[in-house]
């Protein structure tokens, strides 16, 4: 029950709920457990799959976002977004280390915070989503998790909160007001839900690994709902 409860928190951060919890646990199982008495399938095969899924998802997103970019520009953006450091950063934002299944020796040596282990686990989780639900679902999770990196999304340079404020003023409405609705997760990796309110309009909500990210997501949701921007332009 405790592990299921932990996975529920992780799934909320991912924006995807696994039908097969054993598949998710496999994605979080490091190869260091191979020599233990309770050895189980590790995540290396899923990491191999997830590496390819991530690459294709980023290519597709970049191709949409930068139709005028040269091959060299796309390559530079791509390399930054799929490199180990970026994947490890995403893993830290997910607090993935707290969910990892490691050997005692690996856990004692700080394995839960090692960049290579976190990066491989992120790819393994993406691989697991692909195996269970297909590429489109996995790509949606990539869009969600990589949105803080900015570049993969069309018009990512636009500040949604500023855009919403300008739109509200142009419509003669009151200025947007943001409220923190919920905060979950451990102190070192919180997850926020924010709501934006404008008098005379229904509120909109967004989620993110920081208050600002959640507020930006809420502003984007309201702008999309009002037809000011197209859906998906900000991830």
Residue 231, domain member (yes or no) = no
Tokens of 150: 């900015």
- Determine the pLDDT at residue 91: 93
Residue 210 located in a structural domain: yes
Note whether residue 134 is domain-resident.
Answer: yes
pLDDT computed for residue 68 by the predictor: 82
Alpha helices in 83-180 (DSSP H): 84-93, 104-108, 115-133, 135-145, 160-170
The secondary structure of residue 29, as a DSSP letter, is B
pLDDT of residue 81: 93
Spot the catalytic one: 9, 51, 120, 207: 51
Q: Are residues 46 and 114 in the same domain?
A: yes
Domain that holds residue 126: 2-149
pLDDT of residue 226: 86
In terms of domains, do 10 and 89 share one? yes
At residue 235, the pLDDT reads 39
User: Using CA atoms, how far apart are residues 55 and 152, in angstroms rounded to an integer?
Assistant: 12
Answer whether 143's CB lies under 8 Å from 65's CB.
no
Q: How many domains does the chain have?
A: 2
Task: Kindly state whether residue 155 falls inside one of the protein's structural domains.
Answer: no
Catalytic residue among 93, 106, 120, 123: 123
Catalytic residue flag (residue 123): yes
Q: Which residues contact 25 (CB under 8 A, 6 or more apart)?
A: 3, 7, 101
> In order along the chain (235 residues), what is the average pLDDT of each group of 10 residues?
64 91 92 62 93 95 84 87 92 90 85 91 97 94 81 51 88 93 82 92 89 89 83 44
Q: What is the pLDDT of residue 133?
A: 95
The CA distance from 129 to 13, in Å, is 14
φ, ψ (nearest 5 deg) of residue 195: -125, 135
Task: Say if CB 73 and CB 104 are below 8 A apart.
Answer: no
CA separation (Å) from 169 to 64, 172, 173, 211? 30, 5, 6, 23
Whether the full predicted model's pTM is greater than 0.85, yes or no, is no
């Amino acid at each position: 029950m405790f592990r299921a409860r932990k996975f529920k928190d992780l799934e909320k951060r991912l924006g995807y709920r696994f039908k097969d919890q054993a598949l998710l646990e496999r994605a979080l199982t490091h190869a260091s457990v191979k020599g233990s008495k309770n050895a189980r399938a590790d995540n290396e095969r899923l990491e191999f799959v997830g590496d390819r899924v991530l690459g294709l998802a980023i290519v597709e997103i970049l191709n949409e976002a930068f139709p005028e970019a040269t091959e060299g520009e796309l390559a530079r953006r791509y390399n930054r977004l799929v490199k180990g450091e970026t994947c490890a950063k995403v893993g830290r934002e997910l607090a993935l280390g707290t969910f990892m299944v490691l050997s005692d020796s690996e856990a004692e040596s700080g394995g839960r915070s090692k960049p290579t282990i976190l990066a491989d686990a992120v790819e393994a989780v993406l691989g697991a989503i692909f195996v269970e639900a297909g590429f489109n679902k996995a790509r949606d999770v990539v869009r969600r998790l990589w949105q803080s990196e900015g570049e993969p999304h069309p018009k990512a340079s636009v500040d949604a909160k500023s855009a919403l404020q300008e739109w509200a003023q142009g419509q003669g409405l009151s200025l947007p007001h943001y409220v923190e609705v919920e905060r979950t997760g451990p102190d070192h990796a919180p997850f926020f839900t924010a709501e934006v309110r404008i008098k005379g309009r229904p509120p909109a909500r967004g989620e993110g690994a920081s208050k600002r990210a959640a507020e930006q997501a809420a502003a984007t949701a309201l702008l999309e709902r009002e037809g000011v921007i197209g859906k998906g332009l900000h991830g």
